[in-house]
Structure 1
Amino acid sequence: MEAAYRDTLAEIARIQRRPPPIVPLPFADDTMLTRAWVNDPIHDDVAPMEHHVIAPTLRGDGWSEVRFGASSIRAPSVTGGITIAPRGFGGRFDCDGRPVASNVFVSRGRLQRCADAMGLRQPAELLPRLNFADPKLFAILALIGAEAKQGGPHSRLYLETLLDLLCVQLLRDHSAFPLQDRSIGHGLKPRQVRHVTDYMKVHLDEAVALQQLADLLGLSRFHFCTAFRKATGHTPHQYLVRIRMERAKDLLDDSRLTVTDVALAVGYQTPSSFTQAFRAAIGVTPSAYRAARQ
């Protein structure tokens, strides 16, 4: 154990104020599983842990936000979503719901063993995810959870095989490199585009930075811009402006809102900057658009 990292079970027990329900089977490479359990709200700084923590949401509830460095990720807790806290990852966690989740604690050794078997040359590193959609990964985690609950004479062998399959899927779609570089040439995957654009919609009234969007997928700004443009035909800024303008048109139909109200609601701090952006995108000023609609 490295001194900078906390014992995984101790840190999980600290933030949840009770120990996690560990499955009492000895797995290879210090891998551990929990049964399904209700996660209480968290408003705490979570220290870097020894293990990669993989948490599928079995019943969603509330919203979660993670702030790390100058970046943040915010997403609703939805059934089928997956949160990944890579080994050594720490930050401020604010989770206001009580979702039902399970956990797989994957050691560095196990993930690296699978990476070596796949012929990957670099150290195995995972990307942080928050309530992220990956149906394949969730299906594997669901099988792990069902077998851990049922048990049987061959459960450990079956679970060890599933855990290796889990590591393969993590390395294929959630590793820092080199697999992400292969996907850049084809653009982002549809689920990655949805994740980014959903974030844009939730944060329309904020100054959304390019680095924040890139951090959602664990990519550099350059790679993110290139892959987003190949997937959508637009730069991230162009896409964000388009979403803002569509929302602005809906809000302008509400006569109770002033143009300033609408500007602030879609992320513009002054009516003049909003008017300039709206006219460039729609062809008329917000006031003229509203007048034509009445």
Structure 2
Amino acid sequence: MKTVSSTKPVTITHSSEEGLINSSQDLGWEYIVFNEYQLAPTQISYPAFPQHNLYLCLANRPYRIHHLMGKQRYVGIYSRGDIGITPAGIASIYRTEGNDHFLQIQIEQQFLHQVAQETDEIDASSVELIPKFRERNPQIEQIIMMLYSELHQGSGWGSKLYIESLSNALAVNLLRGYSVKKTNFNLHSVGLSDSKLLLVTDYINDNIGTEIKISDLAALVGISQFHFSRLFKKSVGMSPHKYVIKQRLERAKSLLKNPELSVTDIALLCGFNSHSHLGKYFRQLTGFTPKQYRN
């Protein structure tokens, strides 16, 4: 990476619709907005967003990029997998010398502060992200690509629970690697108590046909979402999302014994949003379609 003195180029004001090919804006995702862009070589001016902005390059061919972030200017070759971070409140301008394909993840400041407070009990107001021009982070890249997959094909209650988990994991990794005030992330060495675990699992089983959110499960036992997910996994050996999916499938297997219920009815009763949504997970668990299992 080459850093040079700041100059002010002629700019084109960015429209949020320009080059936008996919967005989570209308999917009901909480705390984050996930956008996918494809743009021809251009120069764009971004305002100082109130959210933190994270970028992941998906371009098939490397290209040179000129990026003015606040008062600092960077020049370098961007390629697939490169990550950029523009903290909230910093305006930026960038110019590309090749076709650009990238993901933009906007993260609410309050959400990041909340995760910081929950994970390490620090003064959340002191947490700030460090600007990054071209970074490699396999963990963050993997989380972003999981969200990207949900943007294209995920929907329904199970998906929302999954997105909550991924959003928390993304926030933790950003705080761990790119916050001004480093966090220790001290974790409990034991899982949930027996009484709390039974309270949570009973709630899941009683509400298997409805939307189940991590925030609701965590509130049920009076702990933060971050700590709940960690402690639940220590207790049962899988994430809350995977556990809920497993319980939905077990309920579906039981209901498939009733020939009066259609597979679509069973899918809805078990919290899946369609016949195909149930079929996808059912095949993964049993190797059969619901209809084959019933027969």
TM-score (norm 2): 0.51
Tell me the CA shift for residue 44 of structure 1: 3.7
Q: Distance in 1 between matches of 2:134 and 2:14?
A: 18
Q: Which of the numbers 162, 165, 169 marks the counterpart of 1:161?
A: 165
CA deviations 1:159-202 (Å, max 9, x no partner) are 1110110000000001122349xxxxxxxxxxxxxxxxxxxxxx
| Residue 37 of structure 2: aligned partner | 37
What is the deviation of 1:136?
1.0
How many angstroms does 1:52 deviate by? 1.0
Letter in 2 for 1:43: Q
150, 153, 156: which is aligned to 2:153? 150
| 1:13 aligned partner | 15
Q: Find the counterpart in structure 2 of residue 93 from structure 1.
A: 94
Query: Kindly tell me: are residues 69 and 101 of structure 1, through their superposed partners in 2, closer, same or farther at Cα, counting changes over 3 Å?
Result: closer
Equivalent residue for 2:48?
48
Equivalent pair of 2:54/2:83 in contact (CA under 8 Å): yes
Q: Shift of the alpha carbon at 1:121? A: 2.2
Deviations 1:216-252 (A, max 9, x none): xxxxxxxxxxxxxxxxxxxxxxxxxxxxxxxxxxxxx
User: Which residue does the alignment assign to 1:27?
Assistant: 29
Distance in 2 of aligned mates of 1:68 and 1:131: 12
**Offset, 1:78:** 0.8
Identity among equivalent positions (%) equals 19
- Closer, same or farther: CA 12–67 of 1 in aligned 2, 3 Å: closer
Structure 2 unaligned spans of 5+ = 1-12, 185-295
Alpha-carbon distance in 2 for matches of 1:111, 1:89: 17
Q: Is the 8 A contact 2:70 2:91 kept in 1?
A: no
Q: How does 1:206-221 map to 2 (within 5 A)?
A: none
Between the aligned partners of 2:155 and 2:45, the Cα distance in structure 1 is 39
Letter in 1 for 2:40: D
Q: Residues 112-127 of structure 1: matches in 2 within 5 Å?
A: 112-119=113-120, 120-123=122-125, 124-127=127-130
| Alignment map for 1:1-294 (pairs within 5 Å) | 13=15, 17-19=18-20, 21-23=22-24, 24-29=26-31, 31-34=32-35, 36-59=36-59, 60-68=61-69, 70-119=71-120, 120-123=122-125, 124-153=127-156, 154-179=158-183
Q: Secondary structure at the match of 1:28?
A: coil
Alignment RMSD: 2.4
Query: Are 2:14 and 2:45, in contact at CA under 8 Å, matched by a contact in 1?
Result: no
Q: Distance in 2 between matches of 1:19 and 1:58?
A: 14
Secondary structure at the counterpart of residue 159 of structure 1: helix
Residue 70 (structure 1) shift: 4.8
Give the partner amino acid of 1:155. Answer: S
When residues 12 and 136 of structure 1 are mapped into structure 2, their CA distance, relative to the original with a 3 A threshold, is: farther
TM-score (norm 1): 0.51
Task: Work out the CA distance in 2 between the residues paired with 1:69 and 1:158.
Answer: 34
C-alpha distance in 2 between matches for 1:52 and 1:20: 21
Q: 1:117 to 1:106 in 2, by over 3 A?
A: same
Q: 1:40–1:28: structure 2 CA closer, same or farther, 3 Å change rule?
A: same
Q: Is the 8 A contact 1:61 1:78 kept in 2?
A: yes
* Alpha carbons of structure 1 residues 93 and 122: separation in structure 2 relative to 1, 3 Å: same
Distance of aligned partners of 1:41 and 1:141 in 2 relative to their CA distance in 1, 3 Å threshold: same
Which residue of 2 is the match for residue 235 of structure 1? none
How many Å apart are 1:145 and its aligned residue?
0.6
Instruction: Determine helix, strand or coil for the equivalent of 1:163.
Output: helix
Q: In structure 1, what is the equivalent of residue 8 of structure 2?
A: none
Return closer, same or farther for 1:38/1:70 CA change in 2, 3 Å cut-off.
Answer: closer
Richer in helix (by share): 1
Q: Count residues with an aligned counterpart.
A: 167
